[in-house]
């Protein structure tokens, strides 16, 4: 099978590329880079230089491919960037049939599912509240685009909180826990709220399965490990791996909501929508999703141990 991967040099995408190659697939990497990463030299992967800001270059890259794994995006907090991401997918959807694409796997976000009205939640659970920031709006709009199109089979993957080695964001989080943990790490609520974690390797496996498994067609999958680990568990595991003491300084959610509302209003003047008030509520809620649909239709099962993986992430082993 011939696979085109956007975002294939990133934290998640690099794992997807590695798995596809391990499965014997021929991979075309769509990237702004002009040379293949050294670790991919000599493997069954070619580089197609392009930019998501230029949808025509992506359409050219699709020619001759069987499956598109669309992980790439224009990083955004502004309405303009979010709209550009949607327009890019509109171009892609219009050209899927002409390019001969049989399937498109779109990596969305669990934020589209909002705050579930009950837990454990499924893909069918109605939200108690929706997140309405520009990022989530773009992901939600793209999901609808794919649901409405008939040019190729589509699959939507909604990752939870992705952790593992190689994320620059997580490196900063680890540094913050190491620095503040012994004195008190401020967090909304007491930190015992369940969070929807998934290891990057397990997520990559789900994405690859979504491109090949027949029952996955026209499905949406919420991808989390389905376990009851809390934010405190995550931060404490980071601190333990760093040989640091750790305690949380609880911040009452109600104390944060009014400043969040004010900041949302101010940022709106600049075309930026972060939905901070709802994210305060999100972090203060138990966000637990049952990955039963992924187990049944993808044959997917998380393999990574939570505590061992956090330790590896901290020590970069």
Residues 186-226 have pLDDT tens digits of 999 999 999 999 999 999 999 999 999 999 999 999 999 99
* DSSP 8-state code for residue 310: H
Q: Where are the alpha helices (DSSP H) in 117-230?
A: 134-148, 168-180, 200-210
CATH numbers and ranges of domains, the chain: 2-315 (3.40.50.720)
Mean pLDDT, range 157-180, rounded to an integer: 94
Structure confidence by residue, pLDDT tens digits, 25-36 = 999 999 999 899
Q: For 89, list phi and psi in degrees, rounded to 5.
A: -70, -35
- Return mean pLDDT, the chain: 93
CA distances from 55 to 77, 86, 89, 140, 238 (A): 20, 11, 8, 20, 40
- Name the band, by pLDDT with cuts 50, 70 and 90, for residue 272: low
Distance CA 237, CA 231 (A): 10
pTM for the model:
0.95
Distance CA 115, CA 121 (A): 10
pLDDT at 16 over 70: yes
Mean pLDDT, range 271-282, rounded to an integer: 82
- Name the band, by pLDDT with cuts 50, 70 and 90, for residue 268: low
- Name the band, by pLDDT with cuts 50, 70 and 90, for residue 253: confident
């Amino acid at each position: 099978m011939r696979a085109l991967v956007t975002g294939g040099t990133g934290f998640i995408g690099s794992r997807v590329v590695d798995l596809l190659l391990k499965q014997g697939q021929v991979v075309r990497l769509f990237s702004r880079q002009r040379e293949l990463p050294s670790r991919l030299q000599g493997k069954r992967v070619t580089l197609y230089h392009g930019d998501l800001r230029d949808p025509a270059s992506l359409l050219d890259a699709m020619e001759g491919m069987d499956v598109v794994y669309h992980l790439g995006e224009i990083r955004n907090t502004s309405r303009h960037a979010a709209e550009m991401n949607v327009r890019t997918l509109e171009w892609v959807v219009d050209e899927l049939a002409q390019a001969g694409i049989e399937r498109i796997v779109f990596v969305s976000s669990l934020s589209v599912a909002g705050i579930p009205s009950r837990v454990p939640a499924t893909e069918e659970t109605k939200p108690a509240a929706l997140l309405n920031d520009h990022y989530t709006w773009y992901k939600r709009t793209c999901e609808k685009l794919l649901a409405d199109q008939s040019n190729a089979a589509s699959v939507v993957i909604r990752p939870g909180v992705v952790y593992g080695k190689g994320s620059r964001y997580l490196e900063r989080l680890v540094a913050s826990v190491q620095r503040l943990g012994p004195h008190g790490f401020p967090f909304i609520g007491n930190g015992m709220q369940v969070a929807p974690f998934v290891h990057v390797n397990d997520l990559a496996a789900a994405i690859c399965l979504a491109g090949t498994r027949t029952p996955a067609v026209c499905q949406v999958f919420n991808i989390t490990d389905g376990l009851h680990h809390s934010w405190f568990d995550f931060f404490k595991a980071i601190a333990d791996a760093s040989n640091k003491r750790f305690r949380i300084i609880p911040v009452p959610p109600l104390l944060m909501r009014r400043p969040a509302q004010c900041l949302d209003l101010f940022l709106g003047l600049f075309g930026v929508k972060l939905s901070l008030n709802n994210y305060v509520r999100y972090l203060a809620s138990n966000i637990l999703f049952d990955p039963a649909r992924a187990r049944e239709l993808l044959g997917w099962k998380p393999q990574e141990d939570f505590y061992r993986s956090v330790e590896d992430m901290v020590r970069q082993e």
